[in-house]
Amino acid sequence: MVFLTSSEENSNNLSPDVDAIPANLMRWEYLLIGYLAFASYLVWYVSENLLVWEPEESIWGLPKPIAGALMIALTWIVLNFVLFVTYYVVITKRVKTAHLVREGRKS
Amino acid sequence: MSISPWSLVVLSTLVIFFILTLVAGYVGAKRTKKGLHEFYVAGGTLSAITVMFTYMATYMEAWEFVGMPTVIVSEGFEWWVIEMIFYLSFVALFYLVSLRIYKLGKLHKYITPTDMIIHRVGGFERLLRILIALMILYATIIYIGMIYIPAAGVLSAATNGEISYHTFLALYVIFIVIYVSAGGMRAVAYADVMAGVTFIVAFLAMIYSTFVYWGGFDKLAWAAYTSDIAPQIFQKTQPFQYFWTMLIFYGISWLFIPHLVVRFYAAKDYKGVIVGGMGSNAGFFLGAFMSPLLLGLSLAAYYGSNLPEVEVVEGYVPMLFMTLFGVGPLLVLLLLGLIAITRSTIDSMLLLVSSIVDVDLIERGLGIKVPERNRRLVTTLVIIGVALLSVVIALAPEAPMVIIGFELCWPAYSVIAWPTIVMLFWRRANKYGGFASYLAGFLSLILFTYVIWPEAPHNPFGVWEGTLPTLVSLATLIIVSLVTPPPPKEFVEEYYGLKK
């Protein structure tokens, strides 16, 4: 095998963020399964109810298919910012902890 | 044959753009230190801003800017909605998966996406390298060929067909080959930044036209929805299961798209991954949502069923720009944007393919030793070979690029991505299950697509084309792993970085 491993590489050369990112799923990350269930419902709702040509009807003043696409796009863009803040805070905190642990080992 | 001054301007735009990117390539090559890790993944030192632009450029290419608006009027609005559905799962799991790939890339100094797969499977290295290289090659050749279509089609349409689609196709391929051969990952990354900036200018021009020409977004939407083509394009033709399998299988498979994976390796730190991911996802809202929507609706509203005559349907977009803005500096700028985004993905993919063939197939798979001084020559030859092979797809396209992608290209990525993502977390997976899953996935893909169900969607259940081969691959991974011995504890701890 040609790859470097953590035991071959001096662990001090690795950035503390490598230690801080867990190999397992963090407990709160399982919530994303719930989100996927919600996303499935949204896909069903838009595809079965809004992908139609009904020029006399509208949602938010827009034609139904366009409003449906907007619902989907707004969902993922909001989720993007929520997840960004969450991951940034969680991993930054874990990096600081990992750094302290490393300093503790040195001393 | 006489060519009008405007057509010469279009031709010159292409030439000037590629000269500029050649300069970027030259600067990149000068700064490129020796060694594969630097050449292919920029030594893992790209900052968050550069990573953000490279992610965006990786996705926001001709597919979003030209392919999606076109497919709205040529095939139906539902195909663009399907693309939005993809983001529902891709964005949700982006941080979860990308951080783990980044961690493993840093821990083990991977160079190619295949490195991670081979390492995790933990056996059958040579055979697996050859298999994965063939799978990625199959998908990437279709992918690159697919992007050649709008690249040449847009320019040809901009000259009103005076300079043919095939002439631009030939020119484009030659420029791409020269450019990528001269640089490396860093050169591609810098050029991606240029592409991103040009794209933003083009996007602002479209916002301007929406308000000035149509009088606002809602008026544009209703003009499109009440045009004579609307009853055909604003209808659902695919069953719900097609939409849902796109959400689950297609969306999640893009988390291990090979040319994105090397961007994770190239990130300097976790902030590069997270900030780059957030910024690029936000950019997708403009590039993948707003831009195709505005353009597609404009096409429907302006032309209705009287769509212009073009060699390939992707030519509708420049025709619309010419109609709205006339021929002049703004159109040149828009064409620059179109050239930039069609090019940015092709060159990074060619570079990826060269790394896979060079490292995985020739050196580590087949065991042929190439001296360091000849490595660049081999790489160049590989790039030329793949670039030329991909032309076959673009010579006489039978469908819009988006449909080619959904039907033929992305399913191949899915059978690579799904077992890999599962093995990122499932420690019980072993070398037997790993190897068998890729083999079964790829064989079933070829069998379903070309032998058993040659008509789209290549299955009798109405699900997305990649679904069945992906399920075969996952079932094989789980069943074979469970009936054979688990991987050694030592290996698992080492691979996941659990040893302290």
Q: Render pLDDT for B259-310 as a digit per residue (tens, 0 to 9).
A: 778 878 888 888 889 988 898 888 888 888 888 899 999 999 999 999 998 8
Report chain B's mean pLDDT, rounded to a whole number.
85
Question: In whole angstroms, how far apart are CA B156 and each of B314, B336, B396?
Answer: 10, 14, 14
A30 assigned to some structural domain: yes
A8 assigned to some structural domain: no
Cβ-Cβ contacts under 8 Å, A72 against chain B: 81, 84-85, 87-88
Between vectors from CA B114 to CA B482 and to CA B257, what angle results, nearest 5°?
Answer: 95
Distance, CA of B102 to CA of B105 (rounded, Å) = 5
Region label for B160, one of left (φ > 0), alpha (ψ between -120 and 50) or beta (otherwise): left
A9 assigned to some structural domain: no
Q: What is the CATH number of the domain that holds B114?
A: 1.20.1730.10
For the cut 90, the answer to whether the pLDDT of residue B499 exceeds it is no
Polymer length in residues for chain B: 500
The whole domain housing A89 covers 26-106
Which has more pLDDT, B378 or A22?
A: A22
Nearest CA in chain A to B426: A24
Distance, CA of B341 to CA of B334 (rounded, Å) = 11
Across the interface, which of A20, A23, A72 has its CB nearest the CB of B88? A72
What's residue B76's pLDDT? 95
In chain B, how many domains are there? Answer: 1
Which has more pLDDT, B333 or B411?
A: B411
Chain B: closest CA distance from residue A88 (Å): 7
Tokens for B241, please give them.
Answer: 């299961």
Which has more pLDDT, B14 or B104?
A: B104
Chain B: closest CA distance from residue A62 (Å): 6
A77 assigned to some structural domain: yes
Of the listed ranges B12-16, B216-220, B338-342, the one predicted with least confidence: B338-342
What's residue B329's pLDDT? 79
Chain B: closest CA distance from residue A107 (Å): 16
Q: Strand, coil or helix: what is B454?
A: coil
A19 assigned to some structural domain: no
Q: Strand, coil or helix: what is B56?
A: helix
Mean pLDDT, to the nearest integer, of A22-45?
Answer: 95
For the cut 60, the answer to whether the pLDDT of residue B183 exceeds it is no
A7 assigned to some structural domain: no
Residue B257: exposure state from Cβ atoms within 10 A (0-12, 13-18, ≥19): buried
Across the interface, which of A2, A40, A84 has its CB nearest the CB of B274? A84
- How much is the pTM? 0.87
Mean pLDDT, to the nearest integer, of B354-367?
Answer: 76
Omega within 30 of 0 (cis) for the link into B457 = yes
B500 assigned to some structural domain: no
Local structure of residue A103 (DSSP, 8 states): H
Residue B2: exposure state from Cβ atoms within 10 A (0-12, 13-18, ≥19): exposed
Mean pLDDT, to the nearest integer, of B199-223?
Answer: 86
Report chain A's mean pLDDT, rounded to a whole number.
86
Cβ contacts of B382 within 8 Å, gap of 6 or more: B353, B354, B357, B358
Number of helices (H), then strands (E), in chain B? 25, 0
Residue B20: exposure state from Cβ atoms within 10 A (0-12, 13-18, ≥19): middle
For the cut 80, the answer to whether the pLDDT of residue B167 exceeds it is yes
Residue ranges of B 259-298 with Cβ closer than 8 A to chain A: 269-271, 274-275, 277-278, 281-282, 285, 289, 293, 297
Question: In whole angstroms, how far apart are CA B139 and each of B148, B379, B415?
Answer: 14, 19, 11
Across the interface, which of B226, B247, B297 has its CB nearest the CB of A43? B247
Cβ-Cβ contacts under 8 Å, A18 against chain B: 103, 106-107, 497
Region label for B285, one of left (φ > 0), alpha (ψ between -120 and 50) or beta (otherwise): alpha
B123 assigned to some structural domain: yes
A16 assigned to some structural domain: no
- B80-139 pLDDT tens trace: 999 899 999 999 999 999 999 999 999 998 887 888 999 999 999 889 988 998 898 898
- Sign of the CA dihedral B448, B366, B488, B497? negative
Q: Give percent of chain B above pLDDT 70.
A: 87
A3 assigned to some structural domain: no
Mean pLDDT, to the nearest integer, of A33-57?
Answer: 96
Tally C-beta pairs within 8 A across A and B: 177
Amino acid type, B34: K
Across the interface, which of B222, B224, B240 has its CB nearest the CB of A47? B240
In chain A, how many domains are there? Answer: 1
- Maximum average pLDDT range among B21-30, B47-56, B286-295, B323-332: B286-295
Nearest CA in chain A to B123: A1
Check CB contact under 8 Å for B425 and A24: yes
